[in-house]
């Protein structure tokens, strides 16, 4: 039985800005692209959320809801530096740290000697250290696996902890809305809802075969998650199954040629991180202005820049007019039987 902690910083970019600019603490603040350039909100603070402003909302819409909103472009270099400080805190407790983005990570503390092995006390101490040393708040979820820990970290946000002990998993999962499962976006939730499926308990009634028939591989995944099952290991750099680089653009881009330009800037870093290891495929990821994303992959034995460019242009057709806010490229390493790590490490240079 694993003990997994998911740590998620509270409105990370906005929190860093509020720490560094106390005068912004109580006013609606958002980090995002400018409205005149069709930008979107990346993060906002709680006073801004009170106006209904959310991540991924168009900046012009956010300003309509709250004309006095302070909208700033943000400072990615600083966020990366703070993210590094947070990771150093994580590594005091375990080497098994899997960053998901600049402000989120999974920790496997199953074998940690700290606090008598209590994942709950470790999570509380991590939150305390982040607060004391960085003057930022984090929320954490403790659970026997990754997806439950991630859901748990949302339960008592902000500045909260939620612990899901193994004995409580079955009851927790049964009442869990399907829309809360990672990978179930708005569209999938609507599809499930049309089948009369709202909660995890209902997946049991429809059955694995029917889920697989309707949703393919994802259906089988739903079946497992619906019973609280997630066998994925925390993947550190050392056991990583894919290597990727990606960047969130300060301003959305609209032309495939611009995407290829971003790709060419990421490419040398990908090759450096790959460090000559054997690969079995390449994958392009695009995230659109509405925060949905698409990936396109091909099998190949060598990283090929020309192939990456073709995949990028091909994936771009799925944008259907939407702006692109993130471009990523990854390669799948030659290890067997592991789910590909979702996304790469954020590089976050300014476009
Ligand atoms: Mg966060």
Q: What's the pLDDT at 241?
A: 75
Taking the centre of ligand 1 as the mean of its atom positions, its distance from the CA of residue 85, in whole angstroms, is 15
Taking the centre of ligand 1 as the mean of its atom positions, its distance from the CA of residue 191, in whole angstroms, is 27
Taking the centre of ligand 1 as the mean of its atom positions, its distance from the CA of residue 43, in whole angstroms, is 9
Highest mean pLDDT among 129-143, 199-213, 235-249, 329-343: 129-143
Among 46-60, 234-248, 272-286, the range scoring the smallest mean pLDDT is 234-248
Average pLDDT of the residues of the chain: 90
Q: What is the DSSP string of 60-100?
A: HHHHHH-TT-EEE---HHHHHHHHHHHHHHHHHH-S-EEEE
CA 65, 67, 72 angle in degrees (round to 5)?
Answer: 105
Taking the centre of ligand 1 as the mean of its atom positions, its distance from the CA of residue 103, in whole angstroms, is 5
Distance between CA atoms of residues 32 and 43, nearest Å: 7
For the segment 11-31, what is each residue's pLDDT rounded down to a tens digit?
Answer: 999 999 999 999 999 999 999
Tell me, what DSSP letter sits at residue 323? -
For the segment 96-120, what is each residue's pLDDT rounded down to a tens digit?
Answer: 999 988 899 999 999 999 999 999 9
Distance between CA atoms of residues 90 and 138, nearest Å: 12
For the segment 289-298, what is each residue's pLDDT rounded down to a tens digit?
Answer: 988 889 999 9
Read off the pTM.
0.72
Beta bridge partners of 8: 104, 139
**Mean pLDDT for the stretch of residues 219-239:** 88
Taking the centre of ligand 1 as the mean of its atom positions, its distance from the CA of residue 219, in whole angstroms, is 28
Taking the centre of ligand 1 as the mean of its atom positions, its distance from the CA of residue 9, in whole angstroms, is 4
Strand segments (E) across 94-148: 97-101, 104-108, 138-143
Q: What's the pLDDT at 250?
A: 84
Which domains can be identified in the chain, with CATH numbers? Answer: 1-144 (3.30.70.270), 177-225 (1.10.150.20), 240-346 (3.30.1490.100)
Q: What's the pLDDT at 344?
A: 33
Q: Among candidates 74, 58, 72, 53, which has minimal Cα distance to 322?
A: 58
Catalytic residues: 104
Taking the centre of ligand 1 as the mean of its atom positions, its distance from the CA of residue 208, in whole angstroms, is 33
For the segment 134-161, what is each residue's pLDDT rounded down to a tens digit?
Answer: 999 999 999 999 999 999 999 999 999 9
Pairing verdict, β 4-9 and 138-143 = antiparallel
Neighbours of 205 (CB within 10 A): 9
Confidence class for position 238, pLDDT limits 50, 70, 90: low
Confidence class for position 240, pLDDT limits 50, 70, 90: low
Beta bridge partners of 295: 285
Distance between CA atoms of residues 17 and 75, nearest Å: 9
Q: What's the pLDDT at 335?
A: 63
> Does residue 103 have a known ligand-binding role?
yes
Sign of the Cα torsion 303, 305, 310, 313 reads positive
Q: What's the pLDDT at 79?
A: 94
Q: What's the pLDDT at 44?
A: 96
Among 29-38, 71-80, 106-115, 238-247, the range scoring the smallest mean pLDDT is 238-247
Tell me, what DSSP letter sits at residue 233? P
Contact status, residue 106 vs residue 123, Cβ threshold 8 Å: no
Instruction: Collect contacts of 42-51 with beta carbons under 8 A, ≥24 apart.
Output: 42/13, 42/74, 42/248, 43/11, 43/12, 43/13, 43/14, 44/11, 44/14, 45/11, 45/14, 45/15, 45/18, 46/11, 46/158, 48/14
CA 207 from chain centre, in angstroms, equals: 29
CA distances from 176 to 180, 204, 344, 348 (A): 7, 13, 28, 34
Q: What's the pLDDT at 345?
A: 33
CB neighbours of 237 closer than 8 A, spacing ≥ 6?
none
């Amino acid at each position: 039985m694993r003990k997994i902690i998911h740590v998620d910083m509270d409105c990370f970019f906005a929190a860093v800005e509020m720490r560094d600019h106390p005068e912004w603490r109580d006013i609606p603040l958002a980090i995002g692209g400018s409205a005149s350039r069709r930008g979107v909100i990346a993060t906002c603070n709680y006073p801004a959320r009170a106006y209904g402003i959310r991540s991924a909302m168009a900046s012009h819409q956010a300003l309509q809801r709250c004309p006095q909103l302070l909208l700033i472009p943000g400072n990615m270099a600083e966020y990366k530096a703070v993210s590094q400080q947070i990771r150093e805190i994580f590594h005091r407790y375990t080497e098994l740290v899997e960053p998901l983005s600049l402000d989120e990570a999974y920790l496997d503390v199953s074998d940690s000697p700290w606090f008598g092995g209590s994942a709950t006390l470790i999570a509380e101490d991590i939150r305390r250290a982040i607060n004391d040393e960085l003057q930022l708040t984090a929320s954490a979820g403790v659970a026997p696996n990754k997806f439950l820990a991630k859901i748990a970290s949302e339960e008592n946000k902000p500045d909260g902890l939620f612990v899901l002990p193994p004995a409580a998993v079955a009851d927790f999962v049964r009442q869990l809305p399907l829309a809360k499962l990672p990978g179930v976006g708005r569209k999938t939730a609507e599809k499930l809802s049309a089948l009369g499926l709202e909660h995890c308990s209902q997946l049991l009634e429809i059955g694995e075969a029917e889920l697989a028939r309707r949703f393919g591989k994802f259906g089988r995944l739903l079946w497992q998650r619906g019973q609280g099952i997630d066998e994925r290991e925390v993947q550190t750099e050392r056991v990583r199954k894919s290597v990727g680089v990606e960047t969130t653009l300060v301003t959305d881009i609209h032309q495939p040629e611009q995407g290829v330009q971003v790709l060419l800037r990421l490419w040398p870093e990908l090759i450096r991180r790959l460090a000559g290891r054997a690969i079995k495929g390449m994958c392009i990821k695009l995230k659109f202005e509405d925060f949905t994303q698409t990936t396109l992959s091909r099998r190949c034995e060598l990283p090929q820049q020309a192939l990456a460019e073709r995949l990028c242009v091909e994936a771009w057709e799925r944008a259907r007019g939407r702006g692109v806010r993130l471009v990523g490229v990854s390669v799948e390493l030659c290890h067997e039987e592991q789910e590909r790590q979702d996304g790469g490490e954020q590089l976050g240079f300014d476009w």
